[in-house]
């Protein structure tokens, strides 16, 4: 396993691994999504307080968790690239940013849509909502900084430092509902979270689907990034010619 991971440092090996993994991520994503949606929208009962409005949490909670998880992956990959100069770690960090921003946008948008019927407001400057918005700004700052340099090495260095510094926001988001009196409810998963087994299954299915979706996006986007970075290599020329012909 360790040897396999080490081999992924080679752009050519990493590119072919991504190509091979795409269907292995795509079909589980589709399967989990279909079953997850069925469980979320049909099987799960209505909530005794929130009625059917609570069904938004089946996309809100997984995307909120993924928004933080992807950021952690991005910062760790950036750190690996920074310390061990592994170019493929830089690639993973770079392609994760827009995906993480996408999950954050979904979490913020679905949260706002849920907030209107439950709180009577689309948005409040609550600690959880504000720290999640800061996460979106961190993603945008990372992407802007990464595209501000012509040299990919300098871009990766600068943006990785930003990503690592921004890690401080993750515990703030997670513990915001404990540290401050927030309008946002407490944890949806674990102690004090949802109790109904069907609701838990629906949430778990949608969470697994989201992880496969992230892996799928990384595989697709990383292939493009590797082709751009390694465009002067002979293997890329051969690969492009074989794909086009």
Binding residues (CB under 8 A) for another protein: these are: 41, 51-53, 55-56, 59-60, 63, 98-99, 102, 105-106, 109-110, 113-114, 116-117, 213, 217, 220-221, 223-224, 227-228, 231, 236-237, 240-241, 243-244
Alpha-helical regions (H) of 9-86: 11-38, 57-84
φ/ψ of residue 47, rounded to 5: -75, 145
Half-sphere exposure of 11 (CA within 13 A, CB side): 19
Q: Which is nearer to another protein, 30 or 167 (CB)?
A: 30
Contact between 182 and 176 under an 8 Å Cβ cutoff? The reply is yes
182: three-class secondary structure by DSSP: coil
Query: Which pair of structure tokens corresponds to residue 163?
Result: 């990503």
Q: Which is nearer to another protein, 60 or 87 (CB)?
A: 60
Closest separation in Å from C-beta 220 to another protein: 5
**Which of 234, 240, 220 has its CA nearest to residue 26?**
220
Closest separation in Å from C-beta 171 to another protein: 26
Closest separation in Å from C-beta 2 to another protein: 30
Closest separation in Å from C-beta 39 to another protein: 14
**Which of 91, 171, 86 has its CA nearest to residue 128?**
171
Q: Which is nearer to another protein, 54 or 89 (CB)?
A: 54
Q: Which is nearer to another protein, 36 or 78 (CB)?
A: 36
């Amino acid at each position: 396993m360790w040897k396999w991971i080490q081999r992924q440092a080679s752009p050519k090996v990493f590119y072919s691994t991504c190509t091979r993994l795409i269907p292995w991520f795509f079909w589980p994503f589709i399967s989990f999504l279909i079953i997850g949606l069925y469980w979320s929208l049909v099987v799960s009962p209505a909530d005794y307080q929130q009625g059917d409005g609570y069904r938004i949490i089946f996309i809100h909670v997984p995307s909120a968790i993924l928004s933080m998880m992807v950021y952690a992956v991005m910062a760790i990959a950036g750190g690996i690239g920074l310390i061990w100069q592994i170019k493929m770690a830089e690639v993973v960090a770079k392609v994760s940013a827009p995906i993480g921003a996408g999950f954050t946008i979904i979490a913020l948008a679905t949260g706002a849509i849920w907030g209107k019927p439950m709180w009577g407001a689309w948005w409040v400057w609550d600690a959880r909502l504000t720290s999640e918005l800061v996460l979106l700004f961190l993603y945008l700052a990372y992407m802007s900084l990464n595209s501000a340099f012509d040299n990919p090495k300098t871009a990766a260095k600068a943006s990785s430092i930003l990503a690592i510094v921004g890690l401080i926001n993750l515990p703030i988001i997670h513990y915001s509902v404990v540290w401050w009196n927030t309008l946002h409810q407490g944890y949806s998963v674990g102690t004090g979270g949802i109790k109904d087994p069907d609701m838990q299954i629906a949430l778990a299915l949608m969470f697994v689907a989201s992880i496969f979706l992230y892996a799928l996006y990384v595989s697709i986007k990383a292939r493009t990034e590797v082709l751009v970075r390694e465009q002067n290599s002979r293997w890329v020329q051969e690969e492009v010619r074989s794909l086009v012909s």
